[in-house]
Amino acid sequence: MTGELLSLAKRFHLSVISHGKFVPSHSDLGGEDYLLELLRAEANARDKRARAERAKQARLPTFKDFKHFDCDFQKAVTREQLSTLERLEWLDNAFNLVLIGPPGTGKTHIALAVANKAVDEGYKVFFATMDSLMHILKTQEISPKSASRVRWINKCDLLVIDEVGYLPVSKTEANLFFSLVSALYEKSSLVITSNKGFSAWDELLGDSVLATALLDRLTHRCQVLNLDGDGWRLANRKHIF
């Protein structure tokens, strides 16, 4: 590769070429074919880097997928419904998904399966428990890390808020939660998991006017799945010996 080609590749930040990682499939490849292979290699490398960056920013705690969700065990959701969720068209229309049910019924599993697929498909995603999200929002003025997470959240196509309702919510947190739901309304999708049905959100948020306004926005374009039955953890307990 000539010196000028290398220096131009550096100038245009074409990393595969400038780092000497481009290997053409044939040594006699010429003209347009050579250029095509070169640009394809660059595009692939960029896609890979972008995916890795999205995966890092998403902060998904574990890997879960749709394939390993057992609809015979969780009868409140059908394979067809899961396939619709997996296609992610609803993300393009900024629909929300709320998963309600007792512990171990697969709420976080489905939320993570959506999040993982969305990262794969090029969407910007952020996953947090309600508690850690509140921490991020409350510390954004004093913590550069939180401030950067908030900037990512505001850019996200999908925000997953796990475990709404497990821990008490203070007045400040209820206001922050409402502001966030309002800011993302019709712009990004929310996936929320909760052990509490909507009728208990008044009490959870400690303010029925705020809860009504929040639920109004959240549920305007929304799918609610009420999961039930026995928890998977209890039915599949594992022991060391």
CB of 163 to Mg ion, least distance (A): 6
108 binds Mg ion (CB under 5 A): yes
64 binds ligand ADP (CB under 6 A): yes
20 binds ligand ADP (CB under 6 A): no
Per-residue interface string for the shown chain with ligand ADP, residues 73-92, x marking contact by CB under 6 A:
xx------------------
Instruction: Supply the DSSP string of the chain, one letter for each residue.
Output: --HHHHHHHHHTT-HHHHTT----SSTT--HHHHHHHHHHHHHHHHHHHHHHHHHHHHT-SS---STT--TTT-TTS-HHHHHHHHH-HHHHTT-EEEEE-STTSSHHHHHHHHHHHHHHTT--EEEEEHHHHHHHHHTTTT-HHHHHHHHHHHH-SEEEEEEETSS---HHHHHHHHHHHHHHTTTSEEEEEESS-GGGHHHHHT-HHHHHHHHHHHHHTEEEEE--SS-HHHHT-----
Please, which of residues 215-234 interact with Mg ion by CB under 5 A? none
Rule CB under 6 A: choose which of 109, 117, 124, 149 binds ligand ADP.
109
Per-residue interface string for the shown chain with ligand ADP, residues 178-207, x marking contact by CB under 6 A:
---------------x--------------
Stretch that binds Mg ion, among 66-74, 77-85, 104-112, 171-179 (CB under 5 A): 104-112
In the complex, the residues that contact ligand ADP under the rule CB under 6 A are 64, 68-70, 73-74, 101, 103-109, 193, 232-233
